[in-house]
Structure 1
Amino acid sequence: MPRAVAPRVRRAPAAAPARPAPPARSRRRLAPRFFRWAVTLTVWGLVAGFVALIFFAWDLPRPEDALAATRRPAITMVAANGALLSTSGDLYGETVRLRDLPPHVPAAFVAIEDRRFRDHMGLDVIGMIRAAVANVTAGRVVQGGSTLTQQLAKNLFLTPERSLRRKVQEALLALWLEARFTKDELLTIYLNRVYLGAGTFGIDAAARLYFGVPARRLTPGQAAVLAGLPKAPSRYNPRVNPSAAVDRAIEVLGAMVETGVLPAAAAMAEAERIHFPPAPSRDAGWFADWVRDGIGDHAPPTSDLLLRTTLDARLQAAVELRLEAMLASQGRAAGVSQGAVVAIEAASGAVRAMAGGRDYRRSPFNRATQARRQPGSAFKPFVFLAAIEAGVRPDDGVADGPINLGGWTPGNGNWRSRGEITVEDAFAHSVNTAAVRLMQRAGGARKVGAVAQRLGLPGPFPRDASIALGTAEVTLLDLVTAYAPFANGGRRVAPFGIAEMRAEGRPIAWLPPGPTPVITADAAEAMRRMMAATVARGTGRAAAVSGLAVAGKTGTTQDNRDAWFIGIAGGLVMGIWLGNDDATPMEGVAGGGLPARLFRDILETHRGRGA
């Protein structure tokens, strides 16, 4: 019987031997190592952070000190009627509070600059991410992420430098400001200190400069214009680029609609109403410079000044208009490139108008106060006055024939000798030989120089007979001022341009020198009579104005290099000079021609404007 065979049982392959678990002692050694590395990294991270903080903050300004930082004192000048003439320095207006402003004023700034202003703590992470995405998408910087608080920190404490350090410092200062002030306080500080172009800081100064109103009277459209300025104060300056300012204001109005400040229809109506008052004349800059230079030590050096000046805005406008018109037409044809005009109030010396040239922007050199030139026959009133004081009368006779003084023989131009004429006719027709003879009767050149100096001309004066023909150099302002005694009864005045001065709102004593008697009323009357004859029938006929008593004197220098007319009318003494800066001769221009006509044109334009 066969033996039974047991079935084979397939054995499973032996499993790989398991790795032995690390001993507990190894795990205990690794844990301290990780802990030591973590501590080391933390310490070095803190050290690096501390070093970085020192790097960014070592020159960080002290906010408490920066809030009281000094600035350039502002000088604001207005005309006699209150119209703005000029500003200089850092111009700040009145300090405004939120409750004093229409709600749309701060809302305009928040809408366009920082809509999340009341939700963040100085740094707007959401705003920064949104700006970064917009800039990356556009491939250029089209949006900023700075908050109003960061802008305030930059404006108050930092320079405009673009660097990582400045941005970090800006952030640190923004956090400090948020911790120190409430949101309303921050917005108030911002509105009073933000730079809004043209040297203006703060909403009130900008409102007055661009719109002629205080901040509390700003309309929504005007507020939108100002709120659009912080982005680019120069580019959107209404005085420089009004169309760009309007376009930017429309953007701000759109933001105000999106934030619920204005309905869309109201925003559109405000956009249509935006307009800018005309800017003050830049040609009044000569007057403003002259006034500013004369302040000297009369005002505190660190205080903001408000100067109400003596300038008559209507007369100044007439001077600028007619001077430019004449130089561009008749003057151009006659080779005249420059001119100057000064008008003062005869009774006081208050300067009512001043143009020191053709265009202040091209040449701020003041030809009315800085250029010294020979006045020619416009100096003769002082010669004739010396003779009057020596006993000569306008009706007396004087020879007009040739005269020889040591080989010097003055000519008479186109005048044909009559043998003897009255002193008045000699003056009216500007007869040179008669003037020399009257100088001799008066006591000579020294006497004439003393008379001229007494009336206000500083000199020096020639000590020979040529003084009678106006060879002493003078400025137009000095010459006009020296004519004032002929118009006001014999009193010398000092020219001045400030009627009232205030420093930080407080009045400052400002008393210009009072008129001083220098000639008798009879002598003044005799001179005025002869000047009236000059305009009525003499060399100054072109200066006559219908319905107005006009007196004056013409002057022309050798080769027609300078042409003058100094006239008296309506309580004013107004002087005209025409010529060229390089003393190039003009083509036949004499004092009785273009200068006298310009005098007439200015007065007629001034009267036509309702003065």
Structure 2
Amino acid sequence: MAKRGSRRATATRQQRNGKQEPPLAGWRLWLKRTLVWGTGLAVLALLFLGVAVVFAERSLPSYATLQATQPGQTIVVRARDGSELIELGPSYGQWLDPDQIPQPMKDAMVSVEDRRFYSHFGVDPIGLARAVYVWMTGDRRLGATSTITQQLARNLFLNSNRSLDRKLREGVLAMALELKFSKQEILALYLNKVYFGGGAYGIESASRKFFSHPATHLSVSESAIIAGLVKAPSRYSPTADVDAAVRRANVVLSLMREQGRISASEAAVDPSAVKLKKDTNQNSVRYFTDWALPQLEVLLPDTTEPIEVWTTLDPGMQNAASNAIKANVPKGAQGALVSLDRDGAILAMVGGTDYVTSNYNRATEAMRQPGSAWKLFVYLAALEAGYTPDDRVKDVPVTIDGWSPRNSGGSFAGEMDVRSAFAYSKNTVAAQLGNEVGFGTVASMAKRFGITTPISTYPSMVLGSSEVRVIEMTRAFAEISAGGFTVEPYGIVKVTTTGGQVLYQHEDTRKAQLVPDYVAAGMTDLLQTTVATGTGRAAQIGRPVAGKTGTTSSNKDGWFLGFSSGITTGVWMGRDDAKPVSGLHGGSAPARAFSAYMKVAVKDRPVEQFKTDLKLPEWQMEPDEEHMYGDPGDYYYIDEQGNLVEPNKPDQAGQMPFPPDSEQGSAPGNGQQPQQQPTPAPPSNGRPGDNPQAASDDFLNRATGRGGGTTQRTEPRQSGPRSVTIQPTPQN
């Protein structure tokens, strides 16, 4: 009562003195409410988190139970014929108690994985705040923030899905582990169970695998090597890449030095002092399994029981592919090979000359310039624009935006047909064609055929200056072999339990037409001539083969890609450091390796003749204006940048769907048929007269029925081959 009276008296005095404070309003009121409600919600969240942690702690198994639990999964990988390729499974060493683990091993792991391990409560607020700050200030991805305790919780109880729900459960379990066990017990559980690659779980198994001695004898350098493996076991495996393992170990030692755990004299690894155990139980099959098995995380539901993975790999073809690369690769260089069946099944994959020496998969990971093999997309764009293999072009000196391409050997052949220009890989003709159809159009064609790496649109791009992967280039050639339809590479046919229960079954993806069949037929014509009489003659195998060579400047890369009897194979050779390789040409070692492999791959398949007859659409043959563009229902659509749009085919109800908007990539969402459908048309823009042209003026006059030289075509020829001039796509 006294206090209330005092407040009332104070208010009265303030009124008398004219000093009454106004009530809060505006942003001050909202700030106060935000603080009050925010504080209340934070308190409720902390209470809820505390309850969750306590309940989780009570449900955790005992230390002895966790010690007896063995993580990992036994996986038997089977070949196309059902034979066993390799068995991958966990390898466990003897359990080490906390006092048996060498202190350098503990220090190395804490330094590289969780420097505040001894001070946090399972989740590291400082590390999390730093990761969020880095993400908010420009990094596209939120960096890894898992502590050792969180990693242990994930390894013991959760999966590796990157979902918010999993991360929240991981944090709760980590705090529960910290509540139940000591730091030394948590670190011992982690070091005895974490995966170090090659099937080795725990430091005891890893030490015996890599150094042939127990973990109790690990040195500082050896501890750093093992600790460095956690981030990427296959990349930093010392039995696969000693240099990479040492570089990673030096990073670990540097962190240990910064944190005061070792002296300056111990902060470097001497590679010669590290005695590694030789691992001979590896072969080229591992390139394939390393690529295929990580896909199980996406294909399978959560399961830890033993499984069998049935793959597309053919053991005989894989052996032939490995031998072909080893027998033909130049000294000091590396080689890669990918072979696809007509449905996209991977029959063979070689990522290097020796998996034990280097497990880096050059078939699926390395990005290298394709050289003239890139002309596949240039000529596809030209054929789609209206060229045919018989059309006449000119191999003459040209300059485009200050760039003057040169042919190999420096000579020029003058007028020739498109077929010969491609077969002999004439750079000047490719440059002219790329300029006519537009360099952006060529880039879009490459993307249409499955190239996912960045593509430049400078004029020199027509000669293969953009880097690509072997598997993607092989896929593009396979799609030509398939008549212009999509081919999706895959390696896993099915996954079963050891009892035969099917957990996953591969299903063929829906085929989409990338280019009209006459364009694919024309391209096959060009590719076949390259092997028969052009630069790819070394790839002949005694039956029809279609393919293309590729050589980059200074002989840094050599390619051959081609197909026969339904099998498409891509071969690349070069040095990892991109230094020149003496005598390396696409038509030499890569073509010979292709031939050696393909002779084995197709020996049990019937000889197949290529379909190269050009059945041109009406818009290329009919003189009548109304037939200029053909039947919209029989054509396919591309947007203004040349990207493929869904074909305008009738659906099951017999309705003609509207093609997706070229910018939005989807059809109208109101369920109504549009008032007007766009008519698909071949590109037919004019081209400035000062740009170089591939076709001769005389031929253009005859082809278009006009006398304007390089003017735009307004009427198609009635029959036979013809030439088209296209305005280059504006470059950004």
TM-score by length of 1: 0.56
CA deviation vs aligned residue, 1:103-148 (integer Å, no higher than 9, x gap) = xxxxxxxxxxxxxxxxxxxxxxxxxxxxxxxxxxxxxxxxxxxxxx
SS at match of 2:579: coil
| C-alpha contact (below 8 Å) 2:282/2:355 kept by paired residues | no
Deviation of 1:323 after TM superposition, in Å, equals: 1.3
Which residue of structure 2 aligns with residue 98 of structure 1? Answer: none
| C-alpha contact (below 8 Å) 1:485/1:519 kept by paired residues | no
Which residue of structure 2 aligns with residue 517 of structure 1? Answer: 513
Name the CA distance, whole Å, in 2 between partners of 1:532 and 1:608: 19
SS at match of 2:524: helix
Specify the code of the residue in structure 2 equivalent to 1:307: V
CA deviation vs aligned residue, 1:464-485 (integer Å, no higher than 9, x gap) = 2111101111000011011112
SS at match of 2:284: helix
| C-alpha contact (below 8 Å) 1:542/1:597 kept by paired residues | yes
1:397 to 1:281, Cα distance in 2 relative to 1, 3 A = farther
SS at match of 1:395: coil
| C-alpha contact (below 8 Å) 1:390/1:441 kept by paired residues | no
> Does 1:313 find its partner at 2:293?
no
Which residue of structure 1 aligns with residue 324 of structure 2? Answer: 322
Q: 1:407 aligns with which of 402, 405, 412?
A: 402
Q: 2:95 aligns with which of 159, 163, 169?
A: 159
Name the CA distance, whole Å, in 1 between partners of 2:298 and 2:454: 28
Aligned residues: 367
Name the CA distance, whole Å, in 2 between partners of 1:562 and 1:83: 35
| C-alpha contact (below 8 Å) 1:79/1:85 kept by paired residues | yes
Specify the code of the residue in structure 2 equivalent to 1:378: A
Which residue of structure 2 aligns with residue 386 of structure 1? Answer: 381
Q: 2:539 aligns with which of 540, 543, 550?
A: 543
Name the CA distance, whole Å, in 1 between partners of 2:78 and 2:294: 16
> Does 1:576 find its partner at 2:571?
yes
CA deviation vs aligned residue, 1:542-578 (integer Å, no higher than 9, x gap) = 00011x2111000000000000000111211101111
SS at match of 1:583: coil
1:400 to 1:301, Cα distance in 2 relative to 1, 3 A = same
Which residue of structure 1 aligns with residue 283 of structure 2? Answer: 282
| C-alpha contact (below 8 Å) 2:335/2:353 kept by paired residues | yes
Deviation of 1:501 after TM superposition, in Å, equals: 1.2
Deviation of 1:163 after TM superposition, in Å, equals: 11
CA deviation vs aligned residue, 1:257-287 (integer Å, no higher than 9, x gap) = xxxxxxxxxxxxxxxxxxxxxx986111010
1:502 to 1:374, Cα distance in 2 relative to 1, 3 A = same
Specify the code of the residue in structure 2 equivalent to 1:306: E
> Does 1:472 find its partner at 2:408?
no
Name the CA distance, whole Å, in 2 between partners of 1:484 and 1:310: 16
Name the CA distance, whole Å, in 2 between partners of 1:344 and 1:76: 23
1:577 to 1:380, Cα distance in 2 relative to 1, 3 A = same
Q: 2:554 aligns with which of 536, 550, 559?
A: 559
1:60 to 1:535, Cα distance in 2 relative to 1, 3 A = closer
> Does 1:296 find its partner at 2:297?
yes
1:160 to 1:416, Cα distance in 2 relative to 1, 3 A = same
Which residue of structure 2 aligns with residue 370 of structure 1? Answer: 365
Q: 2:64 aligns with which of 40, 61, 65?
A: 61
Which residue of structure 2 aligns with residue 73 of structure 1? Answer: 73
Deviation of 1:515 after TM superposition, in Å, equals: 3.0
Which residue of structure 2 aligns with residue 501 of structure 1? Answer: 495
CA deviation vs aligned residue, 1:167-190 (integer Å, no higher than 9, x gap) = xxxxxxxxxxxxxxxxxxxxxxxx
More helix by percentage = 1
Specify the code of the residue in structure 2 equivalent to 1:309: T
CA deviation vs aligned residue, 1:570-606 (integer Å, no higher than 9, x gap) = 2111011111111110112110111111111112244
1:200 to 1:297, Cα distance in 2 relative to 1, 3 A = same
Specify the code of the residue in structure 2 equivalent to 1:400: D
| C-alpha contact (below 8 Å) 1:348/1:514 kept by paired residues | no
CA deviation vs aligned residue, 1:37-63 (integer Å, no higher than 9, x gap) = xxxxxxxxxxxxxxxxxxxxxx9836x
| C-alpha contact (below 8 Å) 1:76/1:87 kept by paired residues | yes
Q: How does 1:54-453 map to 2 (within 5 A)?
A: 61=64, 69-90=69-90, 159=95, 282-303=283-304, 304-327=306-329, 331-332=330-331, 336-345=332-341, 347-414=342-409, 416-442=411-437, 444-453=438-447
Specify the code of the residue in structure 2 equivalent to 1:338: Q
1:533 to 1:281, Cα distance in 2 relative to 1, 3 A = farther
| C-alpha contact (below 8 Å) 2:564/2:602 kept by paired residues | no
SS at match of 1:341: strand
In structure 2, list runs of 5 or more residues that go unmatched.
1-61, 101-197, 202-279, 607-732
CA deviation vs aligned residue, 1:79-118 (integer Å, no higher than 9, x gap) = 1012222232339xxxxxxxxxxxxxxxxxxxxxxxxxxx
Of structures 1 and 2, the larger Rg is shown by 1
1:523 to 1:608, Cα distance in 2 relative to 1, 3 A = closer
SS at match of 2:297: coil
SS at match of 2:326: helix
Specify the code of the residue in structure 1 equivalent to 2:345: A
> Does 1:534 find its partner at 2:530?
yes
Name the CA distance, whole Å, in 2 between partners of 1:470 and 1:200: 42
Name the CA distance, whole Å, in 2 between partners of 1:289 and 1:587: 31
Deviation of 1:71 after TM superposition, in Å, equals: 2.6
1:610 to 1:393, Cα distance in 2 relative to 1, 3 A = closer
Name the CA distance, whole Å, in 2 between partners of 1:479 and 1:317: 22
Which residue of structure 2 aligns with residue 483 of structure 1? Answer: 477
Which residue of structure 1 aligns with residue 453 of structure 2? Answer: 459
| C-alpha contact (below 8 Å) 2:285/2:350 kept by paired residues | yes
| C-alpha contact (below 8 Å) 2:565/2:605 kept by paired residues | no
| C-alpha contact (below 8 Å) 1:90/1:200 kept by paired residues | yes
CA deviation vs aligned residue, 1:419-444 (integer Å, no higher than 9, x gap) = 211111111000000001111232x1
| C-alpha contact (below 8 Å) 1:382/1:452 kept by paired residues | yes
Name the CA distance, whole Å, in 2 between partners of 1:379 and 1:454: 14
SS at match of 2:64: coil
Name the CA distance, whole Å, in 2 between partners of 1:476 and 1:515: 22
| C-alpha contact (below 8 Å) 1:398/1:437 kept by paired residues | no
| C-alpha contact (below 8 Å) 1:85/1:288 kept by paired residues | no
CA deviation vs aligned residue, 1:278-301 (integer Å, no higher than 9, x gap) = x98611101000001222322133
CA deviation vs aligned residue, 1:361-420 (integer Å, no higher than 9, x gap) = 110000011100110000101100000000010100111101011221010112632221
| C-alpha contact (below 8 Å) 1:299/1:503 kept by paired residues | no
CA deviation vs aligned residue, 1:449-475 (integer Å, no higher than 9, x gap) = 111101111132111211110111100
TM-score by length of 2: 0.47
SS at match of 2:299: coil
Name the CA distance, whole Å, in 2 between partners of 1:380 and 1:607: 26
| C-alpha contact (below 8 Å) 1:496/1:512 kept by paired residues | no
Name the CA distance, whole Å, in 2 between partners of 1:321 and 1:439: 38
Specify the code of the residue in structure 2 equivalent to 1:449: A
Q: 2:589 aligns with which of 583, 586, 594?
A: 594
Name the CA distance, whole Å, in 1 between partners of 2:554 and 2:495: 45
Name the CA distance, whole Å, in 2 between partners of 1:368 and 1:566: 13
Name the CA distance, whole Å, in 2 between partners of 1:320 and 1:521: 34
Which residue of structure 2 aligns with residue 171 of structure 1? Answer: none
Name the CA distance, whole Å, in 2 between partners of 1:404 and 1:426: 18
